[in-house]
Each structure stands twice: as C-alpha cells, then as structure tokens.
Structure 1
Amino acid sequence: MQVCYVANACFLITLSTGERLLTDPWFDGPCQQTWWNFPPVPDALKAEIWASKPDLIYISHLHHDHLHPQTLSAFDKATPVIIGKLNTPNLKNAIRAVGFTTITEIPFETRAPIGRGACEAVIFKDFHGNTRGDETQVDYDLDTSLYLYDADGTRLFNAVDNTILPTDAARIAIQYGAPDIAMLPYASASLYPMGMGDYDDAAKTAAMTALRERTRGNFRENVRALGAKRVIPAGGEYVLGGQAAGLSRFLPQPLGAELAAEVGEGVLAKLYPGDVLESATLAVTQDPRASHRDFTNAERAAYALTLADRAASFTQTVLPPDLAFDWVRALKKCAANYAVRRAKMGLELAADIYLDLRKADGSQALLFRFATDNDEAAVAADVAASGRARLVYEMDERLAFNLITALLSWNAMEASALITLRRAPDVYMHDVHRSIVHFTLLS
C-alpha cells in the first residue's frame, strides 16, 4: 500500500491490487468561503491527481473541505463513490448533485468488499459530538471514518474529522486490529477562538494555547490506544483568507514539531503535498515540490495574509430590494421550520438565539430573535439588555440569504470565519450549533 498526501483530508491510496482510492478531494480553490489549503498544493500535483483516474472515491461527510464541487468537477462522474449509510440522504444527494452516478452506502461497522472485491472497508459513524466527548441529542449522522483491509494484509485507519477519543481508539484496535497506518485528526475545524466576537487578542491567544494543549494530549493518547505503527496527522490543515486572513495567527492546529514531541519522530509521519508513505517499509518519500515544509506559526499566518484580497463568493450575491424581500417574514418561516425539527428531536434551547444581520458597510440591517417560547420574532431591544443566556450570530445579510435559501450550508457554522459569535455565558452548546442546519426556508 502507498499513501500519497495531497491536502487537508485528501489522500490518494494505492492498494496492493493496483486500485486507487481517493479520499475527501479538496485541493483546488477555497472552501467554506474563506478557507484555503495550507501548505498550498502545487499545480503540477493537482494535475497529477486529476489525471490519476481513481478507481474509487471515499467521501466522509458534507463539509466542503471533504466534498468540494470545484475539485470534484474534473473527475469522471462514473467513478464509484463509497460513503457510510447515514440516517439522512443529505450526503448522497449532495454527491449526486455534483454529478456522480454510482454511490455505494456501506452500513456502519460492517466489513464490506470494495472495488474489485479483494479489499475490504469498514465505515464508522460519529464517535462523539465534539472534542470533549459529549454525546449529542441531535439525531443527525454527519462525520464518518474509514478502516481499510488491503489484500496483502495491510490495514489502514482514516479517522478523518471524526472526534475520536482514546476509548474509541482502543475499541477499534481490539475489534478490528491495530492498523499499520493511521490518519488521525489533531485539531477541531471550529473557528474557536478566532471567530469569538467578545474575545480580545489576549483572550484568543490564551484560548488557542489551551486548546492546542488539550488536542495535543488527546492526539497522543489516541496514538497510544490505537497502536498504529505510523500515524499521519490529518484534517484541519488550512488557513483563512479574505477578510478573515488576519485571524490565522490564532489557528489552533498544533505544528508538526509539537505533535512529534508528543508521540515521537519514529511514529509520526508528518506529510506535505506529494509525500508518499510506503506501508512495507513505513518510510516516507518527500516530494521536492512541497513548499512551507516544517513551517512555523509565523510562516503559516504570513501565508494567510497573502490571501487577504480574495473575496468570499457570497459577496457576489445581489439581494432583492427591501420591499420585495421581507426579511422578518422569511426568518419567521425559518424559525418555525427549526422549531418543528427541534420538537422531533426533543431538543430544547437553553439560550435566546439571535441573528444580527449586517449590511455591506457593516451597519445593522436587522436584529432577529428566534421564536423559542412564543410568537416573538423581531426584537428591537439591544441584545445586551437581556439577562437570559444568549447566542448571537453576526453576519453579512448576503451570507444569511445564502444560508436560509440553502445555497450555502449551516453545517459547522461555527467553523465559518465569516460569522462572528458572541455568547453569554461563554459555554459551547454543541447541539444548538449542529441542529441549526435546519434553520432554512427549505427545512
């Protein structure tokens, strides 16, 4: 087996049968409006991957850094795509919308043949709701992970973004075997603390430092529990561009040197674009075209600033005139749809939730409160005057228009660098963030 790293969660895996499996393709252009791959992917490597004609594509979940239409557009749409058998059709429908016609859904934790049948795969559903391991009330399968059995006996586990904890890693090692190679996440895709509107630079730096320490420790314990021979830190390798570029100095992803200090150089395989890891020797062949190798925090932040002039695609949205588009009526409909979904899930909101919509010049266009316990929708009073727990999502009204019409997805909304989040008390409510995918006109 050969594992070639491309970008973020994208790997080209060549099995002993000669079949090639491409995972979560995103390596060309921005995603989530402002995210860019880092280190940048050389154009020649992009061309090679597009020309590779993979035999299979695995897509773990909906987020655009895993299901990226711009990157996927160049592949043959007859290429078989494998996914987990999720409890909603969202992922399957999104893949079909891109044009792929052959989609195989594998039931969770079921060993199934793939490709020509000599190799097998197991797909895992969400392990936990977030990096603290809290279970979620939201009955909405999102992240998945992949375990591969090559025909020559080599085993590979790709956790992708799935929030794996040491207890999960230990169970996998016992039930499915310690893999030869593992790709493990090492940071959350959340924009915490970068997008926190109430944090000054000192607070963001302190939160970033604490988050890095926690995620490094979780990475170390996962490596120990899983028992893989070589571990590739993967997922979440990006910087912010456009108007959010300056926030990249607060990115929570640990550097390769930090992770090596936790697990040892002999176990860690920090790959850069084009690098190849051989399962037989566990040796890495470096691609000389890769830039920013062994980068520092300052180098990563400096690269992000080179993307500061890139405009998010939502800025091209031209909204209807105010008289033709009734924001309050539209948002009331979204709130009603969201309330129906919450009732089905048995999810009660523990805080007042507001949308603070802004015009292109930054002035306030509308302050909207979700109807949580009565028919109230528009609130004229200042949010700060309320003594109740609250979440405030501040965003450009053009971005909000894209979200409520489902032109963009609310998924991982806290991961959007273009939404400023304020909360009091300062406590993460995972189920609220995850369920807000249903706050649309179409839900």
Structure 2
Amino acid sequence: MQIRYVANACFLITLSTGERLLTDPWFDGPCQQTWWNFPPVPDALKAEIWACRPDAIYISHLHHDHLHPQTLAPFDRATPIVIGKLNTPNLRNGLRALGFSHITEYPFETRAPLGGKGASFVLFKDFHGNTVGDATQVDYDLDTSIYLWDADGTALFNAVDNTILPPDAARIAETYGRPDVAILPYASASLYPMAMGDYDDAAKAAATAALRRRTRGNFREVFKALAPRAVVPAGGEYVLGGPAAALSRFLPQPLESELAQELAGLGRGEALAKLYPGDVLDSAGMTVAEDVRASYRGFTDADRAGYALTLADRAPSFTQTQLPPDLAFDWNRALRKCAANYAARCAKMGLELNADIYLDARRPDGSRALLFRFATDSEACGLLDTVEESDRARLIYELDERLLFNLITALLSWNAMEASALMTLRRAPDVYMHDVHRSIVHFSLLS
C-alpha cells in the first residue's frame, strides 16, 4: 500500500492490486470562506491527482474541507463514492447536487468489499461530541472514519476529523486489529480561541497553548492505544485568510516537532510520518519518498502565520451578497421562523437546552444592523436594542448581516463557518456549551 498525501485530509491510497482510493479531496482554492491549504499544494500535483482517475472516492462528512465542490469539479461524475449511512440525507444530497451518480451508503462497523480484488473496509460513525470527550445529545451524524484492509493484509486506519479518544482507539485495535498505518487528527477545528471576543491576545495565546497541549497529548495516547507501525498526522492543515488572516497565529495545530517529542517520550519517535504535499509513505518498509516540490517543509508557527498574512486581501464570498431592500426582506419574521424551526428540531431530538442566543448582525461599516434574541428552552424571541442582563447562560454571535443572510438561507452552513473566525463569539459563563453550539446548525429557514 502506498499512501500519498495531498492536503488536509486528502490522500491518494494505492493498493497492492493497483486500485486507488481518494479521500476527502480539498486541494484547490479556499473553503469555508477563509480557509486555505497549508502548506500550499503545487499546481502540478493538483493536475496529477485530477488526472489519476481513482477507482473510488471516500467522503467522510459534508464540511467543505472534505466535500469541496471546486476540487471535485474535474472528477468523473460516475466515480463510485463511498459514504457512511448517516441519519440525515445531507451528505448524500450534497453529492447528488454536484452530479455524482454512483453513491453507496454503507452501514457502520460492517465490513464491505472495496473494488473487486480483495480489499475491504469498515466505516465508523461519530465517536464523541468534542475533543474533551463529552458525548453530544445532538442526534446529528456528522464525522466518519474508515479502516481499510489491502488484499495483501496491510491495514490502514484513517480517523479523519472524528474526535477519537484512547478508549475508542483501544476498542478498534482489539476488534479489528492493530493497523500498520494510522492517520490521526491532531488539532481542534474550532473557533476557540481565535474568535473569542472577550479574550485579549494574551488570553488567546494562553488558550491556544493549553489546547495544543491537550490535543497533542490525545494524539500520543490514541497512537499508544492503536500501536501502528507508522502514524500520519492529518486534518486541520490550513490557515485563515481574508479578514481572519491575522488570527492564524492562534491556530491550535501542534507542529511536527511537538508531535515528534510526544512519540519520542514513548520510545517510538521513528513512527511519526509527517507528510507534505506529494510525499508518499510505502507501507512495505514504512519509508517516505519526499516530493521535492513541497514547500514549507518542517514549518514553524512563524512560517504558518506569515503565509496566512499573504492571503489577507482575499475577500470572503459572502461579501458579494446583495441583500434585498429592507421593505422586501422582513428580518424579524425570518429570524422568528428560524427560531421556531430550531425549537422544533430540538424537540424532535429530545434536546433540552437552557441558554439565550443573541445574533448581533453588523453592517459593512461595523454599525449594528439588528440584534435578535431567542431562548433555546422557550418561544421567547424577537428584536432588541441591547443585550438583556440575566443570570441565564448566553451566547452572543456578532457577524456581518450578509453572512447571517447566507446562513439562514442555507447558502452557507453554521457548522462549516464556525471555525473560520468570521464571527465573534462571547459567552457567559465562559464555558463551552457544545450541544448549544453544535445545534445552531438547525437555526435556518429551511430546517
């Protein structure tokens, strides 16, 4: 098995039979308004991947750094697509909307053949609601992972963005065997602490450092539980451009040197296979063939933050939105409808939340366009002039009114937008309410 890294969560996996599986292709252009691949992908490598004609494409979930229309556009729409049998049709519908016609939804933890030459795989659903390990109450399947067996017996486990913890890894190793290669996430794709409006730079830096310690420690412990021969850190390989570019200095992804230090502490430093665009890991000898075209090899925090600043002039696409005149679009009515849809969805899920959510929409000049409040546990909602003083938990999303329009009309996704730091978030108390935050995806006119 040969594993070629392209970008973020995109790998071209060539099996011993010659069959090729491409995973989560995002390598051309931005996603989620401000995300850009880092290190950048050479144009020649992009052309090679588009021309490779994979035998199948695995899409783990519907976020744009995995389901990316611009990157997927050149591929044959008859290419077989592998996805999990999720409890919502969103991923399947998204692929159909792009024109793919051969989509197969596989039940989780049921071994299935891949191609016709002896390879097989198993898919896993969401492990946890967040990187702390709290189980979510939101009945909304999102992330998936894949365990792949080559016909020659070589095994690969790719966790993708799934918030895998050591007990999950231990169960997988016991049930399915220890993989030869593991591709593991090593960063939290979150707006925290970048978009926290009540944090100064020192507080953001401290929160970033603490988050990096936790995620790299989890990377170490998951590796320890799986005990693969080689581990590839992947996912979260991006910087923020546009108006959020300067926030890239607070990105929580640990560096290669930090991950190497964690594994060295286990006496397994040689197992780390940090790949850069175009690099190929050969499972036979666990050797890496480096692509000489890859830039920023062994990059530092300063390298990453500096590259992000070169993208500061890239305007998010929502800024091109021309809002209807006030008389033609009734914000109060639209947002009340969104709140009703949100409440109905939460009731259907049996999700009991107690918090106030404020949407503080701003005009391009920064002045307030509207302030809307809704309570997650009642029908109380409406436009206000100021945030009300209360002992109740609350979240305040400050965002451009054009961005809000795109979100409630489902032109953009709340869950996909959150990490791009185009919104400022304030919360009281300063505690992560992950079910509230995750459920905001249902605040939509079309929910």
TM-score by length of 2: 0.97
What one-letter code is carried by the residue in structure 1 that aligns with 2:272? L
What one-letter code is carried by the residue in structure 1 that aligns with 2:186? Y
Q: Where in structure 2 are the equivalents of 1:265-414 lying within 5 Å?
A: 265-383=269-387, 385-414=389-418
Q: Contact 2:4 / 2:279 at 8 angstroms: preserved in 1?
A: yes
Q: Contact 1:127 / 1:168 at 8 angstroms: preserved in 2?
A: yes
What one-letter code is carried by the residue in structure 1 that aligns with 2:139? D
Q: Where in structure 2 are the equivalents of 1:174-213 lying within 5 Å?
A: 174-213=174-213
Which residue of structure 1 lines up, in the alignment, with residue 118 of structure 2?
A: 118
Higher alpha-carbon deviation: 261-270 or 11-20: 261-270
- Listed as ranges, the gaps of 5+ residues in structure 1 are none
Q: Contact 1:21 / 1:57 at 8 angstroms: preserved in 2?
A: yes
Q: Contact 2:245 / 2:309 at 8 angstroms: preserved in 1?
A: yes
Q: Where in structure 2 are the equivalents of 1:140-155 lying within 5 Å?
A: 140-155=140-155
Q: Contact 1:190 / 1:412 at 8 angstroms: preserved in 2?
A: no
Which residue of structure 1 lines up, in the alignment, with residue 102 of structure 2?
A: 102
Q: 1:384 to 1:255 in 2, by over 3 A?
A: farther
Deviation at 1:166, TM superposition (A): 0.5
Deviation at 1:413, TM superposition (A): 4.4
- CA–CA distance in structure 2, aligned partners of residues 49 and 277 of structure 1: 16
Q: Contact 2:32 / 2:416 at 8 angstroms: preserved in 1?
A: no
Q: Contact 1:412 / 1:433 at 8 angstroms: preserved in 2?
A: no
Amino-acid identity (%): 78
What one-letter code is carried by the residue in structure 2 that aligns with 1:193? P
SS in structure 2 at match of 1:93 = helix
Describe the superposition over 1:389-432 as per-residue Cα deviations: whole angstroms up to 9, x where unpaired: 21011110111111111111112443132111110101111111
What one-letter code is carried by the residue in structure 1 that aligns with 2:258? E
1:440 maps to 2:444 = yes
Q: Contact 1:354 / 1:393 at 8 angstroms: preserved in 2?
A: yes
SS in structure 2 at match of 1:383 = coil
Describe the superposition over 1:353-381 as per-residue Cα deviations: whole angstroms up to 9, x where unpaired: 01000111111000000144554322424
Q: Contact 1:274 / 1:287 at 8 angstroms: preserved in 2?
A: yes
- CA–CA distance in structure 2, aligned partners of residues 72 and 36 of structure 1: 16
Q: 1:347 to 1:413 in 2, by over 3 A?
A: farther
Which residue of structure 2 lines up, in the alignment, with residue 171 of structure 1?
A: 171
Which residue of structure 1 lines up, in the alignment, with residue 58 of structure 2?
A: 58
SS in structure 2 at match of 1:432 = helix
Which residue of structure 1 lines up, in the alignment, with residue 68 of structure 2?
A: 68
Deviation at 1:117, TM superposition (A): 4.7
- CA–CA distance in structure 2, aligned partners of residues 67 and 180 of structure 1: 27
- CA–CA distance in structure 2, aligned partners of residues 346 and 237 of structure 1: 35
Q: 1:302 to 1:325 in 2, by over 3 A?
A: same
Q: Contact 2:354 / 2:375 at 8 angstroms: preserved in 1?
A: no
Deviation at 1:275, TM superposition (A): 0.2
Q: Contact 1:157 / 1:183 at 8 angstroms: preserved in 2?
A: yes
Deviation at 1:217, TM superposition (A): 0.6
- CA–CA distance in structure 1, aligned partners of residues 429 and 234 of structure 2: 32
Which residue of structure 1 lines up, in the alignment, with residue 90 of structure 2?
A: 90
- CA–CA distance in structure 2, aligned partners of residues 268 and 183 of structure 1: 10
Describe the superposition over 1:48-82 as per-residue Cα deviations: whole angstroms up to 9, x where unpaired: 00001111000000100000000000100100000
What one-letter code is carried by the residue in structure 2 that aligns with 1:341? R
SS in structure 1 at match of 2:221 = helix
- CA–CA distance in structure 2, aligned partners of residues 172 and 138 of structure 1: 24
Runs of 4+ in 1 over 6 A off after TM superposition: none
- CA–CA distance in structure 2, aligned partners of residues 177 and 105 of structure 1: 24
Describe the superposition over 1:274-324 as per-residue Cα deviations: whole angstroms up to 9, x where unpaired: 000001010000000000000000010000000000010100100000111
Number of paired residues?
443
- CA–CA distance in structure 2, aligned partners of residues 292 and 279 of structure 1: 25
Deviation at 1:438, TM superposition (A): 1.0
Q: Contact 1:56 / 1:82 at 8 angstroms: preserved in 2?
A: yes
Q: 1:300 to 1:373 in 2, by over 3 A?
A: closer
Higher alpha-carbon deviation: 374-383 or 102-111: 374-383
Describe the superposition over 1:225-261 as per-residue Cα deviations: whole angstroms up to 9, x where unpaired: 0010000000001000000000000010000000000
